[in-house]
Structures are given as C-alpha cells and as structure tokens.
Amino acid sequence: MRALPYLLRGLLLALLMTFLLVPQTMEPLLRPLAQSNAPVIYNQGSLLSLTVQHLLTVLAATSAATVVAVSLAILVSRPAGAEFLPLSRSLVNIGQTFPPVAVLALAVPVVGFGEKPTLIALFLYGLLPIFESTLTSLTTLPRAVVEAARGTGMTGAQRLLQIELPLALPVILSGIRLSVVISLATATIGSTVAARTLGEVIIAGLQSNNLAFVVQGGLIVGALAVLIYDGLSALERLTVARS
C-alpha cells in the first residue's frame, strides 16, 4: 500500500509528459469537450514550450521572493532588527492585500506588457508565506541549542549559517512550497498582459468557447502543482531527517 502513492505520482508524471510531447494521443479523451469541427488540442503554440516558460516564470519570481523574504525574516529575528518587524510584515502583506490582477494593471504602465508585470505580481504574492515560515522557524528554535553554539564561541554569523538556518530549513521549505503552488496557479493570469504562460491555452478556450482548451490548460497547471508540491514535500521530509 505504501507504494501506491508513488505509483500514482509516476502515472501522473507519465501522462503529463505524454500529453506535452505527443498531445494528439489525448485527443479522443478531449473530443467530447470541443464543438464540431473545432480543434481539440491547442494549436496556437507548443504546449511544451508554454509549460517550460510557465515554470521558468514561477521559478524566477519564487527565487526572488525567497531571497527577499528570508533576508527580511533574518533581519527582524535579530535583536538589532526587531523594531522593523511591523514594517516588514506590512511590506510582505502587500502582495496578499492587492489582487494579482490589480498588480498587473498597475505594473503594465510602468514596465510594459510581457513577462515583467507577471514577475512583479508573483513576487509580491509569494513573499508572505516564505517570510512567515522563516520568521516562525528562526524564533522558535530550541534555545538550548542556540545557547550551546554561543557557548562554543561561535559568532552571530556562524550560528546563523551553521546552526539556525539548517534547523529552520524544513519550515522554510514549507513556506516556499506554498508560495510555489500559489504562483503556479496565479501565473496563468499573466497571459492577459502578453506573458507566455499556460494561461494562453485557457484564454484561447474562453475566447473561442472551446472547453477542450480550457480543460487541458487547467489540467496541466493542476498536474504541475501536484507533482511539484509532492517533490518539495519529499525534500522537506529529507531535511527533517537530516536535521
């Protein structure tokens, strides 16, 4: 029974790769969702290319959000930076209080159409879960461990890099995992401002009243979210076992 989840994930990955590499193989399954004489498989671009670009956009935005959020959390978890905690929380909450569509609308006049406004929206939207998980993990470390490291003569930087961050890593990864999954879904709206994402497939389906396009775009994003969530969860468990 323990092997069943792995078999299901392997099957999902195999189906996803088959669809991206040879999408015509799935045409019989999607045919009932398309109108007569309408194309069943998205034909205005490569599904594989759009998927890769979608993932690269999410990776870039999440990487930037991770650097900023973790750095802020480290700063405010130190005695010298504790007074900046309210300000930091206000900053990282901006992405959650402003809908991504509103961020896109504000960003386009400044940076133009394309990938840049999407990156800004995803960056802002991904800050909060990473910041809060990092801050929580750094402020709830076993005090005895931190004091023991201090007692050995470690500097503040050494304690942070060699003790605190390694111990906090599993919780930090949980925040990154949440941020990635949110960004995978949110990135689809980037196609409304000419970004190359899987939102193109969904929008094309809505414009042509082709449910097959909408379903295949949504299924690809959903499959990616499940697989990446599981992959990061496995990485998180591995760091727990090593810590």
For the chain, which residues make up each domain, given as ranges?
A: 48-242
Closest CA to 47 of 64, 65, 30: 30
First-residue to last-residue Cα distance in the chain: 28
pLDDT tens-digit map of 174-190:
999 999 999 999 999 99
Between CA 152 and CA 18 the distance in angstroms is: 55
Structure tokens belonging to residue 10? 């392997």
Between CA 192 and CA 186 the distance in angstroms is: 12
Give mean pLDDT, residues 135-159.
84
Write down the number of H helices and E strands in the chain: 11, 0
Whole-structure pTM value: 0.91
Is the pLDDT at 14 greater than 70? The verdict is yes
Between CA 121 and CA 187 the distance in angstroms is: 9
Cβ atoms within 10 Å, residue 143: 8
pLDDT tens-digit map of 133-143:
999 999 888 88
Fold exhibited by the domain 48-242: MetI-like fold (1.10.3720)
Residue count of the chain, please give it.
Answer: 243
DSSP, collapsed to helix, strand or coil, labels residue 1 as coil
Is the pLDDT at 100 greater than 60? The verdict is yes
